Amino acid sequence: MSARLGIVVIGRNEGARLERCLASLPQDGPVVYVDSGSTDGSLELARAHSAQGVSLDEEKPFTAARARNAGFERLCSDVPNVEFVQFVDGDCELREGWLGEALACLDRHPKVAAVCGRRRERHPDGSPWNRLTDFEWDTPVGDAASFGGDVLLRAEVLRDVGGYDETRIAGEDPDLALRIRRAGHRIERLDVEMTLHDAALDSLASWWRRAVRGGHAYAEAYYRAGGDAEPALRRHLASTVFWGAAVPVLALVAAPWTAGVSVVLGAAAWGALAVRIYRSMRGRGRSSADSALLGAALVACKVAELQGALVFVWNHLLRGAPTRLIEYKGR
């Protein structure tokens, strides 16, 4: 791989997942690994794979955004003329053929500043929570509004928009994507296998914490945007507040005056939403089992995301203190 492309990997205690990630990268180009306080020898492992290692100062809060910026800064220092940077999370493996397809897209379309593809779960049948995560990555092909942690970016555009926002504990990718689009550039999602992700979600608690983190990100994005929040974000938060708070709270408050009927009606409303999601997923070709799983999970997700939004309100608006990193999996 020529020096026009560099790769930045970020990680924290990824263990064997990082080993697979590093082994999947091209061996003939610059690779930077940024470590956020690992205690499992991740930094030494990366250096053994000929990656440049960067260890973040533990005096400052860790965020994925901070790690990506540090990796990009080191990459630009080592390769000043780098044109493109592929970011990869340490729990992901780059798929063969992805970089060639993605670079060709950027060469063909000068207005495209970011390219992403299909991220898949390594063990989608390992747990229902892994399977839900695999569904999450299955987004429409073509012009896209956002991207995730794995993305190929034009280095010049990343510099121009100021890089990632290091103060965000989550949601740094949609924020960067929004700034890229508002600067007049496009984001393209290709119908190409990009990365294999190992969510390692082995419990409801892990999946729930991940959803809480997402709710925190949505609330923070809305707060920072003020009156300039995008319609999709407004709709998402309105849905979260309605289904996650208004329906259950009203049902419980009204219970003494309705002899408990309001609680039954609230549960029925949640059930109706789950059925509506089920039918929508079936219409998109999902199996009955997968559609039922998505219906139940997306309703429960409203409550988890509401919890995350309330954590943001409590910490940032009432306590005046940033939220600590919300981690959802161990080693």
pLDDT in tens, 209-233: 999 999 999 999 999 988 788 999 9
Share of the chain above pLDDT 70, in %: 98
The tokens describing 285, both together, are 């070709």
Q: Are 71 and 40 in contact (CB under 8 A)?
A: no
Q: Is the Cβ–Cβ distance between 167 and 93 less than 8 Å?
A: no
CB neighbourhood size of 265 (10 A): 15
C-alpha separations of 205 from 178, 212, 219, 311, 327 in Å: 31, 10, 21, 17, 11
pLDDT of 331 > 60? The answer is no
User: φ and ψ at 62, to 5 degrees?
Assistant: -75, 140
Q: Give pTM, 2 decimals.
A: 0.91
Q: Where in the chain does DSSP place strands (E)?
A: 5-11, 31-35, 52-55, 84-89, 92-94, 112-121, 142-143, 151-154, 186-197
Domain residue ranges in the chain: 5-202, 207-319
Residue 271 to residue 278: CA distance in whole angstroms = 10
**Strands 151-154, 52-55: pairing kind:** unpaired
Q: Residue 325, exposed/middle/buried by CB under 10 A (0-12, 13-18, 19+)? A: middle
Count other C-beta atoms under 10 Å from residue 78's C-beta: 13
pLDDT one-digit tens code per residue, 129-156: 999 999 998 899 999 999 999 999 999 9
pLDDT at 164: 97
CATH architecture of 5-202: Alpha-Beta Complex (3.90)
